Structure 1
């Protein structure tokens, strides 16, 4: 199926050459953007191989757009059906993701229309996105806060993307926020007090293990906690333990244990603060390729890392009375500020706008909203 217009063609990705065009499009879109961080191409390509676990419960179709005038690629999109999401929400919700487009509304509209047409053919009645297969992967469009680079594993896009969505009659499904934490200001004394109360209550705190069987045990415990604590999250779908452990292994060498404390009670993990150094700083220098030269550049520029991202603060509900969430914030922040650490600021992201319990806690710790992200929906 090739959709033709006066200026460009849209076609499904059906060959190795098409797939390479798909992978190369972001570099063209962001060629002059000082904040964009090229993703590792091999990691993106891996998601479109037959071994992707998503294909066990979902299906997808990649599309690319090519100019008729000069044969240059001008956009891409992926339409996907996540059966787990459909079962969870009891609604035929289709997804679009991996969206990139030049600053031309006609191209954007054609891409979105093509994805929606494919989703309708699969029996979907609502389209939602951007979501790259699931909210565990890359998702959300940045809609406010374009004056600074994204932190590790956070989305980034040109300001005209949300404008195109509104112009094409998509509506806001939900917003999410990124919070800025300057590390030169002390936490309110209630957080240290909460840590002492938690310790007296029998809660034990330690850094996450990063080696051998101990790492695998901790990764499995975190997986169980994720499923128990975050299962009710909007648009979230469960991952298998194998999927989660594969992702954890990819991140193991990037962990700084001092900013990744875990909480235990009677030997069982009951909470964690998941912090990561902002590896976008060295990744920006490798141009999306971790070949031998890219690895050398990564190792060299990682010394410039001076900020970190807090991906999640998790505690089982029954341990909140033991002050575990506040204690984890205290330990995570203290770990980032200790002597010898390079961190000057941290970002906690992302938090849905209606997650008032988490937002209240984050704001009490001094976090300030500095970026806003959005997921859109459209009735098909």
Structure 2
């Protein structure tokens, strides 16, 4: 599909084109000091035939080529579970990257829209990499620092180009900053003790052996219940969840990952993770032997962490479980000998008022804004 005399959109169908697809980010961000290269093997795995997503969805990769070189990429996808949940034929675009070239950007978006229309979709939403459990959102504000671990990053012109093309904001999300040299308000410790009196117990997550596997299954069940009604989201399979959990097993700091239990059942969790983007920024997307050595060396520089999620079953919110988890998670990051100077809680949708009130009451301030777009397919 020619875009201009020098630009052509190609569906990815060969191993050479797949290599070009994977190479695009290194061209886009070659001069950006804040970019953290994704692990190339992790991205490639998403397009292997055994990806569980293919049990309930389909996708098509595209690249835009100039003078034989890929300068942009996009993936159009259909998630049948989301269509069933929302009762509307909504498709996604994701894995988007493009150099600062409006014609190339527009051509990629048009290719994604055309493919989705051919699948019978009436609306497109993104960026979402197959699922909101993967990478999603464009950074819309806060370009002056690197992203935290497992958070997106992109050039500012993405937002400008999207609006020029007539895309509408579907929803914003926020990242919140927490300095760890400030104590939480007293009501958080009081809430923790109220939860204890109600029969709730708290402990660090297990990180080894059979206990880790069982905790992961409990986390999966709780995560699925707690976020059942999240916008634009459908549950992962247990297989998908456990695969990701195992990939993060060696990275977990149990002091910032407390769980809550009631009568032996996990009823809440505070999912904190050290900011491994700090060493990952040094390995350039490859955990080969030199990459592993660099990772281990620069791992010592980690001085911040990300709070990925705080969850509780609804009936335990009245027993102060979320308050207690925040108290323990933040206190865990402040223990003597811990390196953390700040934490980021990310991300929270703009219309999630209960969570935002709780986060802001605990001292969080918005530090970055992210955006998902929508567009009808005429």
Give the counterpart of 1:367 among 364, 367, 371: 364
Asked if residue 66 in structure 1 is aligned to residue 65 in structure 2, the reply is yes
Following the alignment from structure 1 to structure 2, what is the Cα–Cα distance between the partners of residues 225 and 200? 22
Q: Describe the SS at the equivalent of 1:6.
A: coil
Following the alignment from structure 1 to structure 2, what is the Cα–Cα distance between the partners of residues 239 and 101? 29
Q: Is the 8 A contact 2:3 2:107 kept in 1?
A: no
1:52 paired residue number: 51
Structure-to-structure mapping, 1:215-230, within 5 angstroms:
215-230=212-227
Give the counterpart of 1:267 among 258, 264, 284: 264
Following the alignment from structure 1 to structure 2, what is the Cα–Cα distance between the partners of residues 230 and 136? 11
Give the counterpart of 2:172 among 171, 175, 193: 175
Cα deviation for residue 3 of structure 1 reads 3.2
2:277 paired residue number: 280
Asked if residue 20 in structure 1 is aligned to residue 19 in structure 2, the reply is yes
Q: Describe the SS at the equivalent of 2:128.
A: coil
Give the counterpart of 2:317 among 320, 334, 350: 320
Following the alignment from structure 1 to structure 2, what is the Cα–Cα distance between the partners of residues 347 and 101? 27
Cα deviation for residue 10 of structure 1 reads 0.8
Give the counterpart of 1:346 among 343, 346, 360: 343
Asked if residue 140 in structure 1 is aligned to residue 167 in structure 2, the reply is no
Aligned length in residues: 377
1:30 paired residue number: 29
The CA RMSD over aligned residues, in Å, is: 0.7
Q: Is the 8 A contact 2:77 2:93 kept in 1?
A: yes
1:11 paired residue number: 10
Cα deviation for residue 4 of structure 1 reads 4.6
Following the alignment from structure 1 to structure 2, what is the Cα–Cα distance between the partners of residues 210 and 3? 52
Gaps of 5+ in 1: none
Following the alignment from structure 1 to structure 2, what is the Cα–Cα distance between the partners of residues 160 and 193? 46
Q: Which runs of 4+ in 1 moved over 4 A?
A: none
After superposition, give the CA deviation of every residue in 1:92-113 in whole Å (9 maximum; x if it has no partner).
0010001111111111011100
Give the counterpart of 1:212 among 194, 200, 209: 209
After superposition, give the CA deviation of every residue in 1:209-236 in whole Å (9 maximum; x if it has no partner).
0111101111011111111110100000
After superposition, give the CA deviation of every residue in 1:106-156 in whole Å (9 maximum; x if it has no partner).
110111001000000000000100000010000000001111110000000
Following the alignment from structure 1 to structure 2, what is the Cα–Cα distance between the partners of residues 88 and 81? 13
Following the alignment from structure 1 to structure 2, what is the Cα–Cα distance between the partners of residues 195 and 25? 48
Cα deviation for residue 312 of structure 1 reads 0.3
Following the alignment from structure 1 to structure 2, what is the Cα–Cα distance between the partners of residues 73 and 153? 25
2:291 paired residue number: 294
Following the alignment from structure 1 to structure 2, what is the Cα–Cα distance between the partners of residues 54 and 201? 41
Asked if residue 113 in structure 1 is aligned to residue 110 in structure 2, the reply is yes
Following the alignment from structure 1 to structure 2, what is the Cα–Cα distance between the partners of residues 202 and 275? 24
Structure-to-structure mapping, 1:198-209, within 5 angstroms:
198-209=195-206
Q: Describe the SS at the equivalent of 1:184.
A: coil
Cα deviation for residue 58 of structure 1 reads 0.5
Q: Describe the SS at the equivalent of 1:219.
A: helix
After superposition, give the CA deviation of every residue in 1:322-356 in whole Å (9 maximum; x if it has no partner).
11101100000000000010000000000000000
